[in-house]
Amino acid sequence: MRLVFADHEPHLKPNPRRDHMSGVPELSYSTLDRHGGRVLAPGQVMRTAGQSAPVGTIYRYDRLLVDESVIHDSETREQLEKAIRPTGMLMESQAARSIVPGQGSYRVPVLSNHGDQAAVDAWSLLQRLRTMNDETSLSGEILDKVRLEHLMICSKGNPGVSGGEPPVADSRAFGLGRIPVDMVNPMPSRKQLDRRLRVAVLDTGVPNRHPAFDVSDRTEDEDTFVVVDHAFQAKLGEHSDSPAAPLDDPWEGPVHEPTLIGEVASHYGHGTFMAGLLRQISPDVQLYSLRVVHNDGLAYEHEVIAALHHVADQVEAVRRGDSEAFGVDMVVLAMGYVDESPDDQPGGWIGEAVHRLAGLGIPVVAAAGNQSSDRPFYPAAFAAHSQVENAAPVLSVGALNPNRHIAMFSNEGPWVSCYATGAGLVSTYPCEAKGSRMPDRRAKSSILNRHRESHDPDDFSSGFAVWSGTSFAAPLAAAFLLNAITDLGVTEVDDAIQASARAHEALKRLKSR
């Protein structure tokens, strides 16, 4: 395995001939309905006169992201509510609060019908607000503070399969589907260290028990490989505004989606697989697991933003001398979205959260996406955006096949920083995962008290699996960078400048190998 860097600095390059739906993942109707999601297809939606047509994305149709300055100022909030009222929709923001006080800078107002005047749709509402020309019109300053909330998709598996797995035997499949395997090699031992590098992984979580690693809560102050945060998860659950099950527990689950089929959920085990890759390549680090992704692979933009600010708050608290804080040295993200802006320049607050971490000297390593597209996939594509002075790097990571060629499913483009192996990887998987798919053949053994059978495609009791995706290239790239930082011998840093310099020096050494 190796890390292959682009031979240029990441940058955004407009593509006027791009398919407007390029990069938009295919999701089943039931998955969209579970999260109140809707696909923005440029030819099927209202658009503002005189403005460029949007490009495709996926958003929550009855939610908006609104800057807290609008909500907290009674006069401004009244202006917004007054402007919305003629559209036939109402804004019910009183139930939505910031998950991270003081740093979220957004609220999630709920939109609802008012009579039969209009269907609830956040995109249509935004277009109407921009075209109003009467006493209810809003200023551009206020309009810039009201945006869509995107549904973010985890970057695993195979594109074009509507949330399912490709047939393992189908040679035409872009990626190799998740299948159970056994691990022959033991996990590398961990050294006893006074100070470990710590990496935050924002994903589907990890099981509370797995033979490959131990787990504890951050309040227990134990030197386990995985540390979870019950307090953060409880807060996330408390403020949940979704019809889907709240992410109020750090452990992955349930195993199956709420259907009658009984198959293992499409992204169940995703966070465990990422954790296992880090455990294999960089065993002496500590993983801080925050669960922000549902088991069907979807995450809400505002919850991801909240988790990023939560991590940044902890870093700042550590540097102020707070002994209770839990700082990190790196952040890994495997989810993202394509923005509706025709110039691929996203608005909103997720960029602010990523840039805040980089400004604190914390590298952010993000998966480039699995849509076989060159369209910028955010937050990975923030690697192509300019950073403040002395900021740590933001890396966007595409996937390689084992033969070092770019995987067919991987996104690529001038905004991708580097590529790591992301196809046919072996890593940890929750042992309790067992689905309804059966072996092709099964018979009773004539000698032992067990069955003879062909490979069971979804019995993961071995605790390991083969899987593919840029989701898994990202933690590998992060592990290489963590190991390079370790080789520098600089485990303690006092401020953002030192932390950023350490990250850039480690990255420079990786590129020179």
Q: 111 pairs with which residues across the strands?
A: 91
Q: Which of 256, 270, 294, 310 is catalytic?
A: 270
**Which residue is associated with the tokens 């991708």?**
416
Specify whether the CB–CB gap between 418 and 395 falls below 8 A: yes
Beta bridge partners of residue 366, listed in sequence order: 333, 396
φ, ψ of residue 452 in degrees (nearest 5)? -100, 135
Per the omega criterion (within 30 degrees of 0), is the bond before 25 cis?
Answer: no
Q: Which of 317, 293, 300 is nearest to 103 (CA)?
A: 317
Q: 156: which residues sit within 8 A by CB, 6+ positions away?
A: 267, 270, 297, 334, 370, 467, 468, 469, 471, 472
101 cis-preceded (ω within 30 degrees of 0): no
Half-sphere exposure of 288 (CA within 13 A, CB side): 26
Q: Is 455 an active-site residue?
A: no
The size of the chain, in residues, is 513
345: left (phi over 0), alpha (psi -120 to 50) or beta: beta
Active site residue 189: no
Sign of the alpha-carbon torsion through 197, 251, 355, 221 = negative
H/E element, 434: none
Map 209-245 to HEC letters. CECCECEEEHHHCCCCCEEECHHHHHHHHHCCCCCCC
182 assigned to active site: no
Bridge-partner residues for 418, per DSSP? 5, 397
The token pair at 234 is 């409880």
Selection from 131, 404, 23, 458 nearest residue 268 by Cα: 458
**What is the SS3 assignment for 93?**
coil
Catalytic residue among 105, 266, 282, 471: 471
Rounded Cα–Cα distance for residues 333 and 94 (Å) = 31
- Which position among 62, 67, 121, 203 bears the catalytic label? 203
Catalytic residues: 203, 270, 471
